[in-house]
C-alpha cells in the first residue's frame, strides 16, 4: 500500500474555499492531492486551455497530514472533456504545465481512443449522466495494459440522489469490464464538506463493486501508479524539448518520430504491469 491520495479537488477561484478543501483533505489523512482544472472545448469558439496557478499562490502554508509529521503534497491536473477527437491536442505545450493529464470522453469512439491511443494518465468516467455507451472489454484491457486508469468521483453522489444512481450504475458497469483493476476513486469536491475520509471511501467502494482490498488500492497504490505514469509521460515529452534546441529543420522531422517513441514507455512500466 502507499499513502492515501485524492487526485481530484475541483479548482475554484475562491481562494479561501480551495484552502479549506486542501486543509480538510490533509486533516482527513490524504498525503497527496491534485487540483483539477476542467476544460470543456466547444465547437463554436476557440477557448484557452487554463494554466495552473502555482501552489504557493493558492495556499500560504501547506497543512500537515493528520497523524504525520509531513505536509500535504499538492499537484495540478487538467481534465479535458472530449466530445470531439479534435478536443485533445496531443502535443499542446499548455498540457505540460500540469502534473496529471485526464480526459473525459463522451462517446464510445472517443472512449476507445482514450483507452488505446491518447497519451494521458486518467480517463474520467462520467457520473452525472446515464452512460450513452458500454465499456467494451477490449479498450478497457488496452487501457489497463498501457497503465491508464479509470476514475470515479463520489462527490456528485453526495450532492444529488439522481447523480448517486448514475454514479453507482456507471461504476458497476465499469467494474464488470475492468474487474476492479486500474480504478481510482476521487472526490471532485468543490467544498470541504464534500470530502470523505479514506476509510469511508474504501467502504463506499464496496457499493461500486470493488472488494475491500481493491477499494483501498483505488485510493493508494493505484494513485501512486498514476503519478509514476505521469512522470514518465512528462519525461518523455521532455525529450522532445531537448531536441528542439537543435537547428530547426532536422528537429521538425525528428519530433514526431520521437513522440511516437515516448508513448511506448508508458505502456511497459513494470509497476503497472502487475
Judged by the rule CB under 8 A, the positions of this chain that interact with another protein are: 1-4, 28, 31, 67-69, 157-159, 161, 164, 172, 175-176, 179, 191, 193-197, 199-204, 206-207, 209-213, 216-217, 220-221, 271, 274
Query: Which residues neighbour 206 within 8 Å (Cβ) at sequence distance 6 or greater?
Result: 212, 215
The DSSP secondary-structure symbol of 84 reads: S
- Please, which residue, 79 or 182, has the CB nearer to another protein? 182
How many Å apart are CA 24 and CA 120, to the nearest integer? Answer: 28
Please state the closest distance from residue 45 (CB atom) to another protein, in A: 35
What is the side-by-side strand order in the sheet with 73-82?
5-10, 32-39, 73-82, 100-105, 122-124, 149-153, 183-186
Please state the closest distance from residue 42 (CB atom) to another protein, in A: 30
Please state the closest distance from residue 116 (CB atom) to another protein, in A: 24
- Please, which residue, 140 or 175, has the CB nearer to another protein? 175
Task: List strand residue ranges (DSSP E) for the chain, in order.
Answer: 5-10, 32-39, 73-82, 100-105, 122-124, 149-153, 183-186
- Please, which residue, 106 or 225, has the CB nearer to another protein? 225
What is the greatest pairwise CA distance in the chain? 58
Please state the closest distance from residue 190 (CB atom) to another protein, in A: 10
- Cα distances from 173 to residues 106, 245, 251, 254, 273, in angstroms, run 16, 47, 45, 42, 23
- Please, which residue, 123 or 204, has the CB nearer to another protein? 204
- Please, which residue, 60 or 274, has the CB nearer to another protein? 274
Please state the closest distance from residue 3 (CB atom) to another protein, in A: 5
Amino acid at each position: 500500500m502507499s499513502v492515501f491520495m485524492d487526485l481530484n479537488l475541483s479548482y475554484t477561484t475562491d481562494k479561501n474555499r480551495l484552502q479549506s478543501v486542501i486543509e480538510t483533505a490533509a486533516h482527513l489523512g490524504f498525503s497527496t492531492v491534485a487540483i483539477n482544472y476542467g476544460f470543456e472545448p466547444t465547437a463554436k469558439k476557440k477557448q484557452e486551455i487554463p494554466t495552473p496557478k502555482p501552489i504557493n499562490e493558492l495556499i500560504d502554508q501547506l497543512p500537515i497530514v493528520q497523524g504525520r509529521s509531513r505536509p500535504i503534497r499538492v499537484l495540478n491536473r487538467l481534465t479535458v472533456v472530449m466530445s470531439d477527437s479534435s478536443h485533445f491536442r496531443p502535443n499542446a505545450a499548455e498540457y505540460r504545465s500540469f502534473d496529471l493529464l485526464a480526459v473525459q470522453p463522451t462517446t464510445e469512439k472517443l472512449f476507445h481512443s482514450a483507452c488505446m491511443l491518447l497519451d494521458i494518465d486518467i480517463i474520467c468516467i462520467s457520473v452525472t449522466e446515464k452512460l450513452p455507451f458500454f465499456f467494451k472489454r477490449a479498450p478497457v484491457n488496452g487501457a489497463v495494459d498501457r497503465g491508464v486508469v479509470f476514475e470515479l468521483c463520489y462527490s456528485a453522489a453526495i450532492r444529488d440522489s439522481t447523480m448517486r444512481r448514475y454514479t453507482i450504475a456507471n461504476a458497476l458497469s465499469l467494474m464488470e469490464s475492468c474487474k476492479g483493476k486500474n480504478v481510482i476513486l476521487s472526490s471532485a469536491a468543490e467544498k470541504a464538506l464534500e470530502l470523505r475520509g479514506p476509510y469511508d471511501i474504501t467502504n463506499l467502494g464496496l457499493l461500486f463493486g470493488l472488494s475491500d482490498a481493491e477499494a483501498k488500492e483505488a485510493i493508494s497504490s493505484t494513485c501512486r501508479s498514476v503519478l509514476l505514469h505521469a512522470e514518465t509521460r512528462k519525461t518523455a515529452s521532455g525529450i522532445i524539448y531537448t531536441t528542439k534546441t537543435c537547428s530547426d529543420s532536422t528537429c521538425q522531422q525528428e519530433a514526431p518520430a520521437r513522440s511516437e517513441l515516448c508513448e511506448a514507455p508508458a505502456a511497459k512500466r513494470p509497476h503497472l504491469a502487475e
